[in-house]
Structure 1
Amino acid sequence: MPAEMIEEECGRFKVWMGNLGALQTGHSSLDFRLRDSTVMQTNIMKLLAQLRGALEESIAVASETRLPFELQKPDDSSDDDSSQSSSEEDADVGLEPKKELQQRLSSITNIILDLYNLSFKIRNSATRSKPIKAALYTEVDRDSGIELFSRYAELDSCYVTELFHKLRKDRPEIKDENIFLIERLSRAITIRRKQFRYWRRHSGKLSVGNPLTEATAEEASLRPEQAIRSLDQGVQTTKEGFMKMNMTQSVFSRSMFSGTEATTYDKRLDHTLETQSVISYAPTAYGVEGRGVDLPTPPPAASKGLGFVCPYCMVLCAPKYGSGKAWRAHVIHDLQPYVCTYPNCPEQDKMYGSWRQWLEHEGTFHRKVWQCFEHSSAVFGSPSDFRSHLNSSHPEGLTEQQVSDILDVSHTYTVDDRTCCPICLLEITPVAQLHGHIAHHLEAIACFALPKGTFGEEDSQAGSN
């Protein structure tokens, strides 16, 4: 067994445990997530039992407790006939038979891959709602006592204000009626910063108490059989608190965290098909230069074709999200870049992850009208005006309940009649192109909230882009 492959699988298993809170207890535990799904619980337990069995058999061979199958006499082999028969079949076709430890390592790899596939359903970023806790999140600097996000809010306000001046340098100055949009966009950036920080902190909480988070240099130099035993101890010593592992504490375990509650798994997903597409590609918004917004590149781990942890939402993602349009759609969903661009909005701080939701909000809340079912030209801007029309123009005598029912089904919204971008004041038609242009501005502004240096120094170039 190559030591580097054992270490890689050990690392992948650590990521799986930390991302799902497998070592936690109470409301942040994997047990809590799956408490309503017997199907998912059974699958997880089955895979962990298989992993334990593969590790125990590997340790038996590596510690020379027994001979591997390829060195045993036919009479001595009473276990795992399938492994031996497969080796004999390889020999029959002229192939060199696989050694038992190679087969065990392949089995361990496949089991961990299956655990990853289950985790993609258990903790899915696409179905996770934004918790209220994130909007209320605060962080105080220990030395100065300053609330950090209040300072970020000042920075974000300056950034958006300067951006507006830059975009409007050849156009009229910013008027008082435009201030609302600057304040709204800068406030949205700060809220996104809180969301990203909350997600990272929440992920850290799930890893608290996990002594497998970081390996020491001593662990990296273990012989193969020692590394196997190390990983096996991590699986089997839950009751022992993992005290046998000689690991360094993670940065999270050195901090004091408040309790966290894991999002429960929706057991209705037990019946969804694995082949069902869950990627919703967002349309690309183009600016004046005809280019889309430069979103961050996927993390290096995504290029390996395996599951990877998103550096923004901190959720374990399936390989299909690691490139191209799928990665872009994932980042857009994390950013929620679209906000209402109309003044006096009752949902001014609500953010959207798709054009459809954003444009539907603007139409429903700011261009809503009521149209008479008999008089197509009779369009009203308020329900009271439409009610007056029904009472005066329909003498058949509608009851109050009938009027209320008609009000509920007669509303629609008008086409956006704006011809100028509310951000840069550039005149753009038709309206579909205007919406794409505004969306480009909103995406670019939202990117200012993305954490910098997420991938470390080795990926600083990608981060700067």
Structure 2
Amino acid sequence: FELWARNIAALQDAHLPSSLEHRLRDDASARGIVKKAMLYLEESLHMALSIASGERENEVWDLLSPDEQPADTSVDLYSGSSELRELGLAIQEGITNLFRLSMIIRKKPEKDEYLKASLTYTIDPTADIIHVGDKYPPAKKGDKWLMERLGIAITRRRQYLLYRKEHQEKMEQVHTLKKDAGGKTVWSGEKASTYHPNEALEDSRPADLNIWGFVSSAPTEYADSSKGKDGASDLLRTPLLPKDSVGVRAEYNQHFECPYCWRPQKVGDKNEWKKHIFGDLRPYVCTFESCGLNMFESQNQWFEHEMRFHRKQWTCQYCKETTAQSRPELEKHMTLIHADRIQESHLDGLLDACRVSRVDATECPLCTEYGNKFQRINQSKKCDVSLKQFQEHLGRHMEQLALSALPQEE
């Protein structure tokens, strides 16, 4: 509870802009949900305290009656429970729900934080640019624009991590408990993030706001950045879950404070932890010179961008040099240039056959090993791979560069 309260500034003076109450001042529905969660927790705590203090007896009961006990008495079946034990579970659930609420309340504009960080801190990107060239020598060929872009992206991540760390430190400078004029306890100087009333809870506003109805979305599969060589040396691994102030490492399915974004997190497995880290780092960068420094949180977002705006998706089967970025564009070409060669009833099938579904593995701009591997396998110069294979391969390279921005665990 202390971690939740500190992180979202629940105990700050209500007049402070960073306080939870101040940030919820324009959203009555959100205030009601938080109040209901707090009352639920308070009731469970009072009931548990009355038992722990001896004010009333702890009721103990069996889940099975004597007549229902199993015949095999050698089987150790813990079927008993108690009121205090159930209250403990209720308290734990209450705190978990508060964390769920905080995740929804603080829908923060990550892009703005990257922008704020770049405007706040000046870091020379030269070392990061050199690092890209050392790790992936093919990037140093040509005019080196990609090496520079990827290096600057690493620097942007360092700026963001520094921004988040110093923001957290500023918000924790004062830790004194005090009383305001009305006698209310407040906790000054606690950390908090930006709240946006129009965004928070926008996906959870049924007629009856039920705070116990929140469910987590299905986990998405993430590439294991500790696997594969792909022409790179000194592979970096995704960091383990962090340790707390006394050196105890966090566990899956338990709340902890991320040491990179400094916000409470709860992840179910290694895949979810990677997804969170890469969400903070935005590893994926557009690899086409005509584009700017676009940084993406997910592989799919990044590759969809490249496919939509840069990579050819359709190739005319009659004049192989003609490519198109969309099906309608190629259809227009077919009907204008090759109308005498196609029948309208066969046009859809022909367009399907024109879609590009593979890419040359040698097109990887960061290594030569990938293309060489498929050339050896096929014993020829032909080394086409599926778009998904190419996406995951190039994405792993970028994940490696992104991980280099993280501070090394002591």
Same fold (TM over 0.5): yes
CA distance in 1, matches of 2:287, 2:312: 15
1:44 to 26, 31, 34: 34
CA distance in 1, matches of 2:98, 2:228: 42
Alpha-carbon distance change, 28 to 263 in structure 1, aligned in 2, over 3 angstroms: farther
Question: Following TM superposition, by how much is the alpha carbon of 1:421 offset from its aligned partner in structure 2, in angstroms?
Answer: 2.2
Aligned to 2:257: 309
Once the two structures are overlaid, the 10-residue window that deviates more, 265-274 or 89-98, is 89-98
Seq. identity, %: 26
State the SS of the aligned residue for 1:43: helix
Say if 1:336 and 1:353, in contact at 8 Å, map to a contact too. yes
1:326 paired with 2:272, answer yes
CA distance in 1, matches of 2:235, 2:123: 31
Alpha-carbon distance change, 279 to 33 in structure 1, aligned in 2, over 3 angstroms: farther
1:449 paired with 2:405, answer yes
Question: Following TM superposition, by how much is the alpha carbon of 1:268 offset from its aligned partner in structure 2, in angstroms?
Answer: 1.9
State the SS of the aligned residue for 1:341: coil
Question: Following TM superposition, by how much is the alpha carbon of 1:180 offset from its aligned partner in structure 2, in angstroms?
Answer: 0.5
1:353 to 297, 311, 327: 297
Aligned to 1:69: 56
Alpha-carbon distance change, 363 to 131 in structure 1, aligned in 2, over 3 angstroms: closer
Say if 1:135 and 1:194, in contact at 8 Å, map to a contact too. no
Question: Following TM superposition, by how much is the alpha carbon of 1:45 offset from its aligned partner in structure 2, in angstroms?
Answer: 0.7
Say if 2:61 and 2:82, in contact at 8 Å, map to a contact too. no
1:364 paired with 2:308, answer yes
Alpha-carbon distance change, 89 to 96 in structure 1, aligned in 2, over 3 angstroms: closer
Alpha-carbon distance change, 389 to 437 in structure 1, aligned in 2, over 3 angstroms: closer
1:268 paired with 2:234, answer no
1:184 paired with 2:132, answer no
User: How many residue pairs are counted as aligned between the two chains?
Assistant: 352
2:99 to 96, 113, 116: 116
CA distance in 1, matches of 2:253, 2:281: 24
Question: Following TM superposition, by how much is the alpha carbon of 1:338 offset from its aligned partner in structure 2, in angstroms?
Answer: 1.2
State the SS of the aligned residue for 1:419: helix
State the SS of the aligned residue for 2:117: coil
Say if 2:50 and 2:56, in contact at 8 Å, map to a contact too. no
1:135 paired with 2:115, answer yes
CA distance in 2, matches of 1:206, 1:278: 33
Alpha-carbon distance change, 436 to 369 in structure 1, aligned in 2, over 3 angstroms: closer
Once the two structures are overlaid, the 10-residue window that deviates more, 442-451 or 348-357, is 348-357
1:177-235, Cα deviation, whole Å (9 max, x unpaired): 3x1111001100011112222333444566566546xxxxxxxxxxxxxxxxxxxx99x
Aligned to 1:287: 228
State the SS of the aligned residue for 1:431: strand
Aligned to 2:395: 439
**CA RMSD after TM alignment:** 4.8
Say if 1:36 and 1:267, in contact at 8 Å, map to a contact too. no
1:331-377, Cα deviation, whole Å (9 max, x unpaired): 222221111222222xx3111222211211112221257889xx998
Question: Following TM superposition, by how much is the alpha carbon of 1:296 offset from its aligned partner in structure 2, in angstroms?
Answer: 0.5
The residue type paired with residue 154 of structure 1 is T
User: Structure 1 or 2: larger helix share?
Assistant: 1
Alpha-carbon distance change, 239 to 305 in structure 1, aligned in 2, over 3 angstroms: farther
Question: Following TM superposition, by how much is the alpha carbon of 1:98 offset from its aligned partner in structure 2, in angstroms?
Answer: 5.9
Alpha-carbon distance change, 60 to 210 in structure 1, aligned in 2, over 3 angstroms: farther
Question: Following TM superposition, by how much is the alpha carbon of 1:303 offset from its aligned partner in structure 2, in angstroms?
Answer: 1.3
Say if 2:106 and 2:194, in contact at 8 Å, map to a contact too. no
Alpha-carbon distance change, 186 to 90 in structure 1, aligned in 2, over 3 angstroms: same
Aligned to 2:136: 164
Say if 1:364 and 1:413, in contact at 8 Å, map to a contact too. no
1:420-444, Cα deviation, whole Å (9 max, x unpaired): 4211233524333443332221111
Alpha-carbon distance change, 394 to 299 in structure 1, aligned in 2, over 3 angstroms: same
Question: Following TM superposition, by how much is the alpha carbon of 1:266 offset from its aligned partner in structure 2, in angstroms?
Answer: 3.3
CA distance in 1, matches of 2:196, 2:167: 11
CA distance in 1, matches of 2:81, 2:269: 37
1:450-465 maps to which residues of 2 (within 5 A)? 450-453=406-409, 460=410
CA distance in 1, matches of 2:63, 2:363: 75
2:239 to 296, 300, 306: 296
CA distance in 2, matches of 1:298, 1:97: 33
Once the two structures are overlaid, the 10-residue window that deviates more, 194-203 or 50-59, is 50-59
TM-score (norm 1): 0.60
Say if 1:16 and 1:116, in contact at 8 Å, map to a contact too. yes
1:381-392 maps to which residues of 2 (within 5 A)? none
CA distance in 2, matches of 1:316, 1:278: 19
What are structure 2's unaligned runs of at least 5 residues? 67-78, 244-248, 340-353, 375-383
Say if 2:161 and 2:260, in contact at 8 Å, map to a contact too. yes
Alpha-carbon distance change, 192 to 25 in structure 1, aligned in 2, over 3 angstroms: farther
State the SS of the aligned residue for 2:185: coil
Say if 2:100 and 2:214, in contact at 8 Å, map to a contact too. no
1:335-350 maps to which residues of 2 (within 5 A)? 335-345=281-291, 348-350=292-294
Say if 1:339 and 1:351, in contact at 8 Å, map to a contact too. yes
Alpha-carbon distance change, 323 to 292 in structure 1, aligned in 2, over 3 angstroms: farther
1:198 paired with 2:163, answer yes
Alpha-carbon distance change, 21 to 379 in structure 1, aligned in 2, over 3 angstroms: farther
Question: Following TM superposition, by how much is the alpha carbon of 1:449 offset from its aligned partner in structure 2, in angstroms?
Answer: 0.8
1:418-437 maps to which residues of 2 (within 5 A)? 419-428=362-371, 429=374, 430-432=384-386, 433-437=389-393
Structure of greater relative contact order (alpha carbons < 8 Å, 6+ residues apart): 1
What are structure 1's unaligned runs of at least 5 residues? 1-12, 71-85, 141-147, 213-232, 254-258, 396-410, 454-459, 461-465
State the SS of the aligned residue for 1:279: coil
Say if 1:34 and 1:41, in contact at 8 Å, map to a contact too. yes
Alpha-carbon distance change, 451 to 25 in structure 1, aligned in 2, over 3 angstroms: farther
